[in-house]
Amino acid sequence: MTAENAAVEDLTETRVAVVTGASSGIGLAAAEELARRGWAVAVVGRDEARLAVAIDRVRGAGRGAGHAAGRGAGHAAAEAYRCDFGVLDDVRSLAAMLRVAYPRIDVLANNAGGAFAARRSTVDGFEQTIQVNHLAPFLLSHELRQSLRGGRIINTSSGAHTGGALDPDDLSSTRRSYRSLTVYGSAKQANILFAAEAARRWPEIQSTSYHPGVVRTRFGNESRLISGFYRLAPLLRTPEKGAETLVWLATEDASKIAPGRYYMDLRERRPAAKATDSTLAARLWDASLAAVGLARPTSSI
């Protein structure tokens, strides 16, 4: 895992956002818009080539904001961080660098994710979909908790959560045959439950989740069927449209946003019942703590 870091500048008066999955699609669109509004943005992505293109675009948006406001370039900054969410040690290293670079983080946008055509295990031993979409952002959020006090966590979920069948006792879905969209739906269900439980356990941080709509992106690019749909289906949203609610949740007056809730198109929506179960959310939290190595050991008698 690497970072494209210059010397850390004084960001005391500048709002800071960490956007994962920001080398393309919704994450890149959100990072550009926040930079355009004068935010400092940590642009997190896995692919080095796409990340290099993305950071140039985000920095360009930030320079435009500086000129429009009559300030010199550099009033806000964008930095690139490469991280593979399929490797939890990468996530820990990313968090360590972010804590040094940004002692205060106003927004963590947990946007990275993906669906995979076939079952695949990560180096950490988990099914890849649940790790990339849930366990890695869950770990990153915990690692950045102190920096996020007074800030916001925003989880990119999906309407696909309605097709999930999340079982905290079987996060890797080993007890059922592998169906890509069901496993993906379970991960998106986890995003909503995580946001709700974080709002209960961490009242000092405003946590929410949202559905960006069906957006024309590189999503599911490893599956010919899924990627074909996202390339060719008519009437899909642009990444900019998909990012609107993320940006709104990041910038709207906090009093107008209900912690722990699920949003779409700038307003609160009610997710499927399976994503509103507080008992399931608590079980998921405990199972996730154990999975990423954050559970407290039980004392023996």
What residues are annotated to the active site? 184
Which tokens in the block code for residue 127? 């099914």
Phi-psi region of 150 (alpha: psi -120 to 50; beta: other; left: phi over 0): left
The Cα 276–Cα 189 span in angstroms is: 9
Which tokens in the block code for residue 12? 């005391």
Residue type, 202: W
Nearest Cα to Cα of residue 243 among 34, 23, 17, 18: 34
Instruction: Provide the CA 286 distance to its chain's centre, in angstroms.
Output: 20
Nearest Cα to Cα of residue 190 among 68, 259, 272: 272
- Do residues 195 and 153 make contact, with C-beta atoms less than 8 angstroms apart? yes
Write the DSSP string, 213-239.
-SB-SSTTTT-HHHHHHHHH-TTPBPH
Helix and strand element counts for the chain (H, E): 9, 9
The Cα 90–Cα 82 span in angstroms is: 9
Q: Which residues pair with 45 in a beta bridge?
A: 82
- Count Cβ atoms below 10 Å from residue 118 Cβ, excluding itself: 9
Q: What SS3 string covers 57-87?
A: HHHHHHHHHHHHCCCCCCCCCEEEEECCCCC
Which tokens in the block code for residue 2? 């690497």
